[in-house]
Amino acid sequence: MKKRAAIFWMIILLCGTLSACAPGKRDGAADGQAETGQPGAGEQDAATETPLSPVEVRLGNVTIALGDDMDKVKESLGEPLDCQETQSYVYDGYEKTFTYDGAEIITYPMDGKDIVSSISLLDQSGVSGSGVQVGDDPDTVEKLYGGEQLVKGSAYYLYETEDYGYSFYLGDDGKIAVVEAYVYAE
């Protein structure tokens, strides 16, 4: 578990020293209106909204799963506002950070594709697999993720399983400011 956490934090630190792969705003699909027909990375009808799995988040009306192909995510969300990349120290190729309104998605290279490894929700337009979103009280995290696997810090909560994890960062107001879902490097 410590090795996975160390690799995760190494990736996060590397993302801070990214070089641009797409400066500024790109032209592309307006709001990602395409339907993929695949679980995750697809549009949801608000009237028939399905429950999310633990490895999924919903951004607006689009469901994104950890492990999704980023091309499918872009079909639903449209082109990102920004894309940064850095040479991977874990994988052969580049890790990329895609920025959207309300979210940041980090990918790793696998078999010529960019695979979603981390999704950070930055505003109230997104919700985690269990229903936590930016602006919630920390007791919501404790209620939904409480138990031995929940680690509480002074300004964050960490919830980790063998396959995935969530970080909940608190803002100055004491409420959830960022919700991050992530998978570990393989």
CA Rg value for the chain: 16
CB proximity list for 74: less than 8 A, separation 6 or greater: 28, 29, 32, 80, 98
151 SS3 class: strand
What is the CATH architecture assignment of 2-27+56-183? Sandwich (2.60)
Please report the pLDDT score of residue 71 as a whole number: 97
Q: What's the full length of the chain, in residues?
A: 186
Please report the pLDDT score of residue 169 as a whole number: 98
CB proximity list for 148: less than 8 A, separation 6 or greater: none
Chain centre distance of CA 159 = 14
Please report the pLDDT score of residue 69 as a whole number: 97
Please report the pLDDT score of residue 183 as a whole number: 93
Q: Which helix (H) or strand (E) holds 157?
A: strand 156-160
135 SS3 class: coil
Local confidence pLDDT in tens for the 186 residues of the chain: 443 443 443 434 333 333 334 333 333 333 333 333 333 444 444 444 678 999 999 999 999 999 999 999 999 999 999 999 999 888 889 999 999 999 999 999 999 999 999 999 999 999 999 899 999 999 999 999 988 899 999 999 999 999 999 999 999 999 999 999 999 876
| Structural contact between residues 92 and 76, judged by C-beta atoms closer than 8 angstroms | no
DSSP 52-120: PPTTEEEETTEEEETT-BHHHHHHHH-S-SEEEEEE-SSSSSEEEEEEETTEEEEEEEETTEEEEEEEE
pTM: 0.75
**Domain chopping of the chain, boundaries:** 2-27+56-183
Please report the pLDDT score of residue 40 as a whole number: 43
